[in-house]
Amino acid sequence: MADIRKLAPGVVNQIAAGEVIERPASVVKELLENAVDAGATRIDVVVEQGGAQRVRISDNGCGIPPEQLSLAVASHATSKIQNTDDLFRVATLGFRGEALASIASVSRMMVRRRCAASAAGAELEIRGGQESPARPCGCPPGTTIEVGDLFYNTPVRRKFLRTTQTEFGHVAEAFVRVALARPEIHMTLTHNQRIVHDVTPVDRWLDRITAFFGAELGDGLIWVDNREVDVRVSGYVADPRFSRGNNRMQYLMLNGRFIRDRSLQHALGEAYRGLLLTGRYPIAFLRLEMPPQAIDVNVHPAKLEVRFAESGRLYSQLLAALRNKFLTTDLTAKARLNPPDSATGPERSPADPTPAHRQQLVDWARGVATSGHSGAGSAANGRGTGTGATPPFRPFDGAAAPAQPEAARRPTTTSSATESEFRVDAPHTAGLGMQVHNRYLVTESADGLVVIDQHALHERILYEQLRARVLDGTLESQRLLVPEPVSLAPAEVAMVLESRDLLRQLGVDVEPFGGDTVLVASYPAMLANLNPGEVLRQLVERLTGAGKPPERRDLLDDLLHLIACKAAVKAGDRLSTDEITAHLEQRHLF
């Protein structure tokens, strides 16, 4: 074995950079945090090519004294803590004194600063960790840090960078996290000379949230505020009619710092149990405020995760706060008006709910949430359900369950108890078979009677047709007269634009529009009566929800199932004689 040697400082810094600086968005995060710590009231972020080419952040904060410029970029140098005790009362976002040194070791970095009092500024240039002497320069008061050619001297790292769109998506997310935590700061984000965000200071947190996520979501947010001794949980959670297929819209701000916390996210999920379908996640913007001594922030290099001294108590507090709030908020009426699974919107709903309806809806929500079906017609319920049970009747399990939301949308006097007795009223007879309860097709086979869930059957038929058309390139797509704007989270915009080819194969044509908006320009003809924005959002959730990038083939298959499910007849749809016949005939084709 070779001799043991102490690593050169440059190597040490590059290793440290490996932990903290993963991609351009990490640079943006670290520099933004420094600007916030410097007390800035205005921060401008300018990035080029997703940040890989250039990131420049200017702030009007306290600035760095000229004689300390060199120290600021040295490793383990910080003005924020002095001793280990300080580690347990951190009131700033930074404290490790590593960010600037790490970034400087893997880029060409320029630090410019000027105090408000002095006329001239000073600048310091560092290339791959090598410093040039500081020199005077003209610049506005505050600090400007420019980071060029990130990873130019670590080619392996550079290779890991994804497309400009994806990298920019992460940058925008880093920006949003800080901007959400600090509504009092004026912040701008510019990408390739285009202003993407310009958020002015606001008094109400809600205004900053809607600046990013739109007024529609803003209207659906519910205020929560709970204090127990020295811990306060406050902010907004979304009405259950808004939900996501992943937990990325759960913004937790701990003493002004964005964090991820599995336990708290679990508490959120628990609070919504029975209100959201399985596989759906609540949207939340929550502030946690507590004494710094109650938290250990020194457990994660990027400080995304923290350790709570009393995590169990915090879990219970959050859960109780939300449950109490939900008990006094009429969520069921809203859930009824626009069920989370709704493809067709509120217009199908009957008038105001009676107390009995309301109870049914609550039961429905509970039943669906615990039944293990992902409501949007998961891929599974299209498969292998072409034929139903033969006598004795077993028609209400398996394939029938996912159809419940539609049944609940138009509650009848039939309770689930009487349903399972299979009482057929006024069957709708047609050639090959008949429709019962506007939900099942009944026909005969050599073995006896066959009961088929109409939604599952139609979904299966459409899936096969769609697949055949996608494979031979004959899927009909319709150009929309007016392209439909759809607003998405920054990372989702990136994902959509990156998946344009895939979406085009499915007949969905999207174009960038700017900011968090994309335009749906054309759309599969067979989905004509569904809202393009809603369908695109669901497709995006499939794209982003998989954790690791899914195999193209699996994804295509998954998306086909989703589209088939959306386009298929629903439980509750009365079919014409021709439709009944056609569906029953087509089930033999596969």
Interface residues toward Mg ion, by CB under 5 A? 34, 94, 99
Residue numbers 35-64 binding ligand ADP by CB under 6 A: 35, 38, 59, 61-64
Which residues 6+ apart lie within 8 Å of 159 measured at CB?
Answer: none
3-state secondary structure 59-120: ECCCCCCHHHHHHHCCCCCCCCCCCHHHHCCCCCCCCCCCHHHHHHHCCEEEEEEECCCCCC
For residue 533, the tally of other CB atoms under 10 A from its CB is 15
CB of 80 to Mg ion, least distance (A): 8
Q: Which does 78 bind (CB under 5 to 8 A by kind): Mg ion, ligand ADP, none?
A: ligand ADP
CB of 102 to ligand ADP, least distance (A): 8
**Sign of the four-CA dihedral 569, 574, 578, 583:** positive
Q: Which does 64 bind (CB under 5 to 8 A by kind): ligand ADP, Mg ion, none?
A: ligand ADP
- Provide the β-strand partners of residue 295: 308
110's tokens: 């320029």
Of 63 and 405, the one with the shorter C-beta distance to ligand ADP is 63
CA distance linking residue 168 with residue 51, whole number of Å: 7
CA distance linking residue 360 with residue 365, whole number of Å: 8
Q: Binding pattern to ligand ADP, positions 139-168, x when CB under 6 A?
A: ----x-------------------------
Of 76 and 552, the one with the shorter C-beta distance to ligand ADP is 76
Q: Which of 14, 34, 342, 378 binds ligand ADP (CB under 6 A)?
A: 34
Which residues 6+ apart lie within 8 Å of 239 measured at CB?
Answer: 220, 221, 222, 331, 334
CB of 247 to ligand ADP, least distance (A): 28
Q: Which stretch binds ligand ADP (CB under 6 A): 88-96, 183-191, 283-291, 450-458?
A: 88-96
CA distance linking residue 443 with residue 150, whole number of Å: 66
With CB under 6 A as the rule, give the number of residues binding ligand ADP: 23
Residue for token digits 């600048």? 123
Closest listed residue to residue 404, CA positions, set 391, 393, 419: 419
Residue nearest to Mg ion as judged by C-beta position = 94
Q: Which stretch binds ligand ADP (CB under 6 A): 72-80, 243-251, 374-382, 518-526?
A: 72-80
Q: Which does 537 bind (CB under 5 to 8 A by kind): Mg ion, ligand ADP, none?
A: none
For residue 72, the tally of other CB atoms under 10 A from its CB is 22
DSSP state of 323: H
Of 34 and 404, the one with the shorter C-beta distance to ligand ADP is 34
CA distance linking residue 137 with residue 427, whole number of Å: 86
Q: Which does 62 bind (CB under 5 to 8 A by kind): ligand ADP, Mg ion, none?
A: ligand ADP
Q: Which does 63 bind (CB under 5 to 8 A by kind): Mg ion, ligand ADP, none?
A: ligand ADP
98 lies in the binding site for ligand ADP (CB under 6 A) = yes
Of 59 and 459, the one with the shorter C-beta distance to ligand ADP is 59
CB of 466 to ligand ADP, least distance (A): 52
Residue nearest to ligand ADP as judged by C-beta position = 94
Of 35 and 174, the one with the shorter C-beta distance to ligand ADP is 35
Q: Are 583 and 461 in contact (CB under 8 A)?
A: yes
191's tokens: 């990408």
Please give the residue ranges that form the binding site for ligand ADP (CB under 6 A): 30, 34-35, 38, 59, 61-64, 72, 77-80, 94-101, 143
